[in-house]
Structure 1
Amino acid sequence: MKINKIITIASLALLSVTALTACGKSNTASGHKGQLNLMVGSEMPTLDPSLATDDSSLTALSNTFDGLYRIEKNAKPENALATNTKVQSNGLTWTFQLRKGVKWSNGDPVTAQNFVDGWQRTNDPKTAAEFAYLFDGVKNATAIQNGKAPVKSLGVKAVGAHKLVVTLEKPIPYFKLLLGFPVFFPQDQRAITKYGKQYGQDSSKQVYNGPFTVNGYHGTNSKWSWQKNSAYWDKQSVKLDKINFQVVKDASTQLNLYNSQKADITQLSGDQVEQYKNNKQYIYRPGSAVTYLQMNEKAVPALKNEKIRAALSYAINRKQLVNNVLQDGSTAAKTFTPAKLASNPTTGKDFAKQAVVPGALDTDLAKSKKLMQEGQQETGSSSLNLTLLSGDTNVEKQNAQFLQSELNKLPGVKVSLTPMPGKAKLSHTSKGQFQLALSSWLADYSDPNTYAIFSTQNDQNNGKWSNAAYDQNVADAGGKNAQQPTKRFDNLVAADQELVKSYGVIPLFDGSVPGSGPFLQRAYVKGIVYNTAGINWNYKHAYVK
């Protein structure tokens, strides 16, 4: 999940502290104790927990809402609104006792019914929530999303104000991790009703029950802030009074702010990494993320031809992309699921090593040209004009330009570029309004299932690729083999292999995306909890020393 995220690369947050007024030139934080100023790489699309799919929105929601659990250090779920959890009926019935006395920022009490309302709203097909698929396994969730069962039949029930009972159709091994994700957070029905279509589209049209509240967000603007939530049940644990955000898309501008003592954290890219990797303030924050090329088979029928899709993949020199363009510690993709996310429960072998399809993601221009010619003959076309959609940050545009140069080497292929702001790009990809799209996916939780997003009916399958073997393996991993760890693991490996060898998408590189990878960070920034999967950045315990 990380959720989506799809997190398209254009919509991922770049974390960086900016415009501190009195840092001085030392490594102390005089003048801004209790406050941070952060930069993000794109506009924040929404504050609606049902609709958020990008990293910027999800990070904001995870720091301004509390769910049943909060994902803390080492991706460990810790009690937030849940104070006690009982699992019964072979993992199919979960009963949660909720914390008493918790209030929304508008003064409303937080109750079990808020979870029922939020979950039902997310699964209601009228909401069109892209992350509704994460509820797969909750009783009737999939049937509701497909319009085959009433919304009220969802397997979640409030028993009084402080008891929540969830019924599953099948065991979900990673259910606790899911419950720390924003789409599973409670929602205040009174606020939903009051604000209607504006709910979550403006910071004043949302209520909060977490460490911070959001102020100054209006949907498309480039500045907003989080402020310590005075109504938060655990406010004594929150050290920062305020975090300011500003959209800054240029990596050089970020670095300049850092070097002029006006920034506390900046993400590095390109040749900046080589220049600063021995600096004492250098830190590498790994991320479980893959950047890949989506191909829209519905918009471009020729892309239904596997040889044409394979030709596009073989034309791309991934090592040149990571070594000469990115230069930030990213590695050429060998699978769709990145390394170091999960291991075989029997052998201990890394998932990505087990899933490798030898040669499938190699660079071979001669083979690429041959496959393209064969594919064009099979489809009766002699030319292929494609538009590549990307974000509008410098890094994303450079990546897109590299792909354009690689793909234009193929006979009859002409690729043009369309960069656009992250919010617009996310909207276009989710609606299928693209031909090729440069996208990224970050793990929503530490389990390979988070990368199994290309089943035929999955909302994240924007390119409309369909493969029966892939679908069956994903279904078996979540169904008959859900409680058999090794068989489940093998199903997910087989699904990843099918995706790669059939070129349902084209994996490009793993590792660094905006929000993870190489950073400079001053020593006085303390207490940030960073996880490689799920919501990466948790500021609840952050402080400036």
Structure 2
Amino acid sequence: DFVYSWQRTLNPNTKSQYAYLFTGIKNADKINAGKLSPSKLGVSASDSHTFVVHLDEPIAYFKVLMTYPLFSPVSKKVIDKYGSKYATTSEYMVYTGPFKMTGWKGTNDHWSFVKNDQYWDKKKVKLSKINYSVNENPSTILSLYQSKKLDMAQLSSEQIKNFKNSPDYQTVPYSITRFLAFNFKASNSKVRKAMNNKHIRQAISLSIDRKQLINKVIGDASTTPRGFVPTDLAKDPKTGKDFADEAYLKGTVSYDSTEAKKLWKQGMKEIGEKNLSVTLMSTNDNDDKNISEYFQVQLQKELPGMKVNLVNIPDKVAYSRAAKGDFDIYVSGWGADFTDPISHLQVLQSNSGYNYGKWSNSEYDQLIKKAQNQDANNKSKRWNDMIKADQLVVKDAAIAPLYQTNYSFLINPKLKGVIHNTAGTQWNYKTAYLEK
């Protein structure tokens, strides 16, 4: 099952967007590029309980990488049976985890997880059923929680101030950095010229008062960023110091109106322009809409001759446009898939499918390559490669880090044993139970 699953993920016909996480496993990249048959992947099953993986290069974070659901097995028998229907609804799937999904029809907004009686560790699973619902209206969500129809409910920014002192209030950190992505290949030639000017990008980044953005606009427990890689993701193997603190460069992700104006003037002179009109794209959910409106006011106030037009669209449309490079500046973000800085850093490589702005820097690519290849088995050298890479991102203003996400929830005090991860799969209900 594992051999089949990994080969299937890397087969270009599967179109797996996360296939890049297999990089370093023997022949993975060549298979995904269509240059080799999936059967040439460096994996084998020496017996029914042993899975052998061969690597092209050392992967220092291999063990934490294997916790990501992408590497879990799927059933060939079930995929062959259901064909194109596979995974389109809960009935066209099989399950290896503590719960099975029921009642999901592919588009509906509520379903259940029921205890999986074939799970290897089912004795540890206490809940027989979890009801899950999706609702876009924050008032409805709050009302359902208050009428005891929900045991966990996420709060919107507007609701947080009213519930910060509630005994049910909890903040939940997650390793997501929100940032502005600049389009280095923007279709408009004037915008493209501006986005490729380092001083203009730096000016935009320094025009943002991140503390004000968090306190006045977002209003939750989010924190200001130190760089691209979030805090509390990884610690220095030698000193135990946080990666984000070690990589931090003063004056790169802070608010500095005077310096922003100076850099803006310099950059505009370099591209031979007096005015610049850009489109800022974001999703149309409440927080992103508020954030983009804040940027519009702030950038036009701080940078003379700057005009910001807003495009707030449904998230699926925004992601699709971003992937096609159809934007000038995009309110984007990245969440860590596993607890290693490379999870963020590899996204900005020149060849990454998630590098929507198409920033390209050969020194950066080289540092990531070293961290993932020749320095992979030398902990301190690998760490330094990644520190330099993170610093290069903010020095060059490849993106403008905005804030690090902290979600706010109301959680039933009787709900115990829920495991929350700050990277990868966020919630784990295997040991969850409700106190009597």
TM-score (norm 1): 0.73
Q: Residue 312 of structure 2 corresponds to which residue in structure 1?
A: 419
* C-alpha distance after superposition, 1:327-373 (max 9, x if no partner): 21211112111222222222332211111122111223343344334
Q: Residue 225 of structure 2 corresponds to which residue in structure 1?
A: 333
Q: Is the 8 A contact 1:297 1:465 kept in 2?
A: yes
Q: Residue 80 of structure 2 corresponds to which residue in structure 1?
A: 193
- Helix, strand or coil: the match of 1:187? coil
* AA in 2 matched with 1:231: Q
Q: Residue 85 of structure 1 corresponds to which residue in structure 2?
A: none
Correspondence 1:216-235 to 2 at 5 A: 216-235=103-122
Q: 1:430 to 1:225 in 2, by over 3 A?
A: farther
* AA in 1 matched with 2:340: D
Match of residue 292, structure 1, among 179, 191, 216: 179
Q: Is the 8 A contact 1:250 1:394 kept in 2?
A: no
Q: Is the 8 A contact 1:138 1:170 kept in 2?
A: yes
Q: Residue 493 of structure 1 corresponds to which residue in structure 2?
A: 387
Distance 1:474 1:423 in 2: 30
Distance 1:199 1:304 in 2: 44
Distance 1:218 1:132 in 2: 27
Q: 1:540 to 1:431 in 2, by over 3 A?
A: farther
- Helix, strand or coil: the match of 2:108? coil
- The reply to whether residue 438 of structure 1 matches residue 331 of structure 2 is yes
Deviates more, 1:315-324 or 1:400-409: 400-409
Match of residue 154, structure 2, among 267, 274, 278: 267
* 1:377 shift after superposition: 4.0
Q: Residue 144 of structure 2 corresponds to which residue in structure 1?
A: 257
Distance 2:56 2:29 in 1: 10
Q: Is the 8 A contact 1:125 1:145 kept in 2?
A: yes
* AA in 2 matched with 1:393: D
* AA in 1 matched with 2:328: Q
% same residue = 43
Correspondence 1:46-85 to 2 at 5 A: none
- Helix, strand or coil: the match of 1:441? strand
Gaps of 5+ in 2: none
Distance 2:90 2:273 in 1: 50
Q: 1:459 to 1:178 in 2, by over 3 A?
A: same
Distance 1:416 1:194 in 2: 50
- The reply to whether residue 524 of structure 1 matches residue 417 of structure 2 is no
Q: 1:317 to 1:342 in 2, by over 3 A?
A: same
* 1:487 shift after superposition: 0.9
Distance 1:182 1:430 in 2: 23
- The reply to whether residue 362 of structure 1 matches residue 254 of structure 2 is yes
* 1:155 shift after superposition: 1.1
* AA in 2 matched with 1:342: A
- Helix, strand or coil: the match of 2:18? helix
Distance 1:380 1:478 in 2: 41
Q: Residue 423 of structure 2 corresponds to which residue in structure 1?
A: 533
Q: Residue 322 of structure 2 corresponds to which residue in structure 1?
A: 429
* AA in 2 matched with 1:161: S
Distance 1:278 1:543 in 2: 25
- Relative contact order, CA 8 A, sep 6+: which one is greater? 1
Distance 1:499 1:284 in 2: 29
In the alignment of these two chains, the number of paired residues is 428
Match of residue 324, structure 1, among 216, 219, 225: 216
Q: 1:204 to 1:299 in 2, by over 3 A?
A: farther
- Helix, strand or coil: the match of 2:112? strand
- The reply to whether residue 456 of structure 1 matches residue 346 of structure 2 is no
* 1:472 shift after superposition: 1.0
- Helix, strand or coil: the match of 2:213? helix
Q: Residue 75 of structure 1 corresponds to which residue in structure 2?
A: none
Q: Is the 8 A contact 1:251 1:394 kept in 2?
A: no
- The reply to whether residue 544 of structure 1 matches residue 431 of structure 2 is no
Deviates more, 1:142-151 or 1:442-451: 142-151
- Helix, strand or coil: the match of 1:126? helix
Q: 1:213 to 1:352 in 2, by over 3 A?
A: same
Distance 1:399 1:211 in 2: 38
Distance 2:168 2:299 in 1: 38
* AA in 2 matched with 1:170: E
Q: Residue 29 of structure 1 corresponds to which residue in structure 2?
A: none
Correspondence 1:54-453 to 2 at 5 A: 114-270=1-157, 272-300=159-187, 301-302=192-193, 303-409=195-301, 410-452=303-345, 453=347
* 1:383 shift after superposition: 4.2
Q: 1:381 to 1:432 in 2, by over 3 A?
A: same
* C-alpha distance after superposition, 1:355-400 (max 9, x if no partner): 1122111223343344334434434555443333323322222122
Distance 1:396 1:255 in 2: 20
Distance 1:418 1:203 in 2: 35
- Helix, strand or coil: the match of 2:321? helix
* C-alpha distance after superposition, 1:410-450 (max 9, x if no partner): 33433233333334433333343333222222222222121
* 1:318 shift after superposition: 0.7
* C-alpha distance after superposition, 1:488-512 (max 9, x if no partner): 1111110000111111111000131
Distance 1:419 1:239 in 2: 43
Q: 1:227 to 1:490 in 2, by over 3 A?
A: same
Distance 2:82 2:266 in 1: 55
Higher helix share: 2
* 1:475 shift after superposition: 0.8
- Helix, strand or coil: the match of 2:334? strand
Distance 1:222 1:388 in 2: 30
Q: 1:216 to 1:299 in 2, by over 3 A?
A: farther
Q: Residue 374 of structure 2 corresponds to which residue in structure 1?
A: 480
Distance 1:373 1:340 in 2: 37
Gaps of 5+ in 1: 1-113
* AA in 2 matched with 1:390: S
Distance 2:13 2:63 in 1: 27
Q: 1:272 to 1:361 in 2, by over 3 A?
A: same
Q: Residue 401 of structure 2 corresponds to which residue in structure 1?
A: 507
- Helix, strand or coil: the match of 1:483? coil
Distance 1:326 1:247 in 2: 21
Distance 1:312 1:221 in 2: 41
- Helix, strand or coil: the match of 1:336? coil
- Helix, strand or coil: the match of 1:359? coil
* AA in 2 matched with 1:156: V
Distance 1:138 1:332 in 2: 36
Q: 1:431 to 1:182 in 2, by over 3 A?
A: farther
* AA in 1 matched with 2:311: T
Q: Residue 105 of structure 1 corresponds to which residue in structure 2?
A: none
